[in-house]
Amino acid sequence: MTYSTFAGFDFGTSNCAFGLYQDQRPVLASLPAHGRYLPSTLFAPTREVISGWLYQQLQPVGLGQAYSIHRQPHIQRSLLALKEAQLDGYGGELYFGQQAFAAYMDDPLDCYYVKSPKSFLGASGLTERHQQQFEDIIAATMWHIRSQVAQHTQCWPEQVVIGRPVNFQGVNSQQSNIQAVQILTQAAKFAGFKQIEFLYEPLAAGLTYQATLTQAKRVLVVDIGGGTSDISMMEMGPEYDQKFDHERLVLGYSGKRLGGNDFDIALNLLALMPQLGMNQTLASGQPMPHKIYHDAASVNNLPAQSDFYARQTSQLLAQLKDDMQPHFWQRLSHLQQEQLTQRLNRSAEQTKITLAEQTHYVCSLDYIEASLSVPISVAQLVEASHKLTDTLAQLIEEVIQQAGHQPDVLFLTGGSAQSPIIRDYLKTRFVGIEQVSGDNFGSVTEGLTRWAKQIYAH
C-alpha cells in the first residue's frame, strides 16, 4: 500500500484522528494501540516529567536539540523528576487515550491527568509557563499519534493540515484564537511536522459532504464536538471540489466554546452535585456556596479546578463541617481529597450517552460513597441542556442572517450533533429540510485530509 506524505489531523476535544491518502483515497489511519480514534487524554506520574519524557522521545530522531532550545533549564529538572518517578515504580511512561484513563482510575490522587487539553487553549490568564506546559502536553500527544501512524504505515508525514474551531474561547476571541493557534503550531513543530496549515473544522466537514454531491446546494454544516460548536453555511457542489479558496464559498459562519463537555457539566450540576450538598441550606440558614460545586464540575477550566483543589477550599470545607448535613459534607470532602472530579464528570458523560437510547438511567457513585446511586431521566437531561440548546439556536440564526438564505440541507457532524435533544430541535426549526448525518468523528478528519491533498500535492 502507498501512503501520502501529507496528512489531515483532527486534534479534537474528545478524540484525535489522523488522515492519510492510501492508494488515492482518504482514510483514517489506524493507531495500533488505540484504533482509529484516540480519546484526548494524557496521564503522567507528575506534571514535571512531561518535557523530559518528550525530550527522550525526540532525541533519537534528531528533534531533541530544537526542542531543548525552547525548554532549558526545564528539561534537566524534568529528567530528574522522571528518574525519581521511575525509582518510585511508575516506569517513566506517559499514557494516552483509554490507557491514560485506566492509569488515572488506578490512582487518581497521586498522578497528573489531563482530559481534553484542547478545551484549555485560548483561555485568558495563561502565563508563559502555562502555555509551555500546554505545548508540551499537546506535543507529547501529537508525537505519540505520529509514532503510532509510522508504526502502522512505515511513513512519517511531515506536511499537515490541522483542524481548528471558528473560536476557541468566547472571551477576547481574536486574542484567544491567536494564542491557541500559536500553541498548536509550536507543539506540531516539536512533534516533527515541517509544514503546518489550519482549516476551520466546519469547512473540513463540509468538504467531506461535498464529495458526495451531484448538484449544487446551500448546506448548513452543524459541527458540535466535545468542546466547541461551529456552524457554517456553504455553497457546495461537485464543480466546487477543486477550488482552492473554499472560504470564498462560505456564506456565513459562527462558533462558540460550547460542546459535549458543557452538556456533561450541566447534567453534573443538575443531577449529581445535589447529592453532594449543592442547593442545600446550611444549618446557619445561609445557602450552600455554589462556587465550590461549579469549580468541581468545570473540568475544562484550569483555574476552576485549581481553585477546587486549593488549600483555601480545604479550609472552607473545614469551616462548613458543622454547618452541613454530615453525609453531604463527607461526600464533598471525599471528592476533593481523592481528586475525583474527572471521574464524576465521566459519570455525567456516561449518563448523557445512555439517555440518548433510553428514558431513565441509574448512575452509580459508589466511588463517592458505598452504594450511592442517582436515578436520572431524559427530562432532567433536557432541563440541563436548555440554556445550551438556546445558545446553539442563536448561533444558527446568526449564520442564516449572514447568508441571507435558508439552507437546502443540514449536514450534522461531531459527536454531540447526534444527540436526540439537538436533532429534535433542528427538526422543529427546519421543518421539511433534509438532515444528513456524517461520520460523527471522521468527517472533519477526512475533510482535512482532502484539503491537505489540495494544498500539498501540487
pLDDT of residue 328: 97
CA nearest to 53, candidates 29, 21, 77: 77
Residue 427 lies in a domain: yes
Residue 414 lies in a domain: yes
Kindly state whether residues 402 and 351 are assigned to the same domain. no
pLDDT of residue 8: 97
Q: Are 181 and 199 in contact (CB under 8 A)?
A: no
Kindly state whether residues 356 and 296 are assigned to the same domain. yes
Q: What share of the chain is helix, strand, coil (3-state, %, to 5)?
A: 50, 20, 30
Task: Lay out the sheet containing 112-115: strands in order across.
Answer: 95-96, 41-44, 112-115
Q: What does residue 331 show for φ and ψ, rounded to 5 degrees?
A: -65, -45
pLDDT of residue 418: 76
> What are 235's strand-pairing partners?
218
pLDDT of residue 243: 55
Burial class (CB in 10 A: 0-12, 13-18, 19+), 457: exposed
Kindly state whether residues 56 and 128 are assigned to the same domain. yes
Q: Are 351 and 373 in contact (CB under 8 A)?
A: no
pLDDT of residue 227: 81
Rg (CA), the chain: 23
> 3-class SS at 364?
strand
Kindly state whether residues 230 and 278 are assigned to the same domain. no
Q: What is the largest CA-CA distance in the chain?
A: 72
How far apart are the C-alpha atoms of 118 and 163, rounded to whole Å? Answer: 11
Kindly state whether residues 129 and 272 are assigned to the same domain. no
pLDDT of residue 254: 86
- Given 364, 384, 404, the domain boundary residue is 384
Kindly state whether residues 226 and 309 are assigned to the same domain. no
CA nearest to 374, candidates 263, 260, 261, 278: 278
CA nearest to 115, candidates 342, 340, 348: 342
Q: Which CATH number fits the domain that encloses residue 250?
A: 3.30.420.40
Kindly state whether residues 316 and 331 are assigned to the same domain. yes
End-to-end CA distance of the chain: 21
Residues of the chain predicted below pLDDT 70: 170-172, 240-248, 439-440, 458
Locate 430 and state its grid cell: 427546519
pLDDT of residue 248: 63
How far apart are the C-alpha atoms of 38 and 30, rounded to whole Å? Answer: 10
How far apart are the C-alpha atoms of 185 and 237, rounded to whole Å? Answer: 32
Structural domain boundaries enclosing 174:
31-159+168-193
Burial class (CB in 10 A: 0-12, 13-18, 19+), 296: buried
Q: Quick check: pTM over 0.85?
A: no
Residue 2 lies in a domain: no
How far apart are the C-alpha atoms of 8 and 184, rounded to whole Å? Answer: 14
Burial class (CB in 10 A: 0-12, 13-18, 19+), 321: exposed
Residue 296 lies in a domain: yes
Give the model confidence (pLDDT) of 215-237 as tens digits. 889 999 888 888 888 888 988 88
Give the model confidence (pLDDT) of 4-27 as tens digits. 889 999 999 889 999 999 888 999
Kindly state whether residues 396 and 247 are assigned to the same domain. yes
CA nearest to 67, candidates 130, 155, 161, 136: 136
**Residue 180 to residues 83, 134, 157, 328, 458, Cα–Cα distance (Å):** 31, 10, 23, 39, 29
> 3-class SS at 83?
helix
Burial class (CB in 10 A: 0-12, 13-18, 19+), 22: middle
Residue 207 lies in a domain: no
**Residue 102 to residues 30, 42, 106, 143, Cα–Cα distance (Å):** 21, 11, 6, 21
Kindly state whether residues 42 and 186 are assigned to the same domain. yes
Q: Are 36 and 8 in contact (CB under 8 A)?
A: no
Kindly state whether residues 50 and 132 are assigned to the same domain. yes
Count up the domains in the chain and report the number.
3
CA nearest to 6, candidates 410, 439, 454: 454
Residue 338 lies in a domain: yes
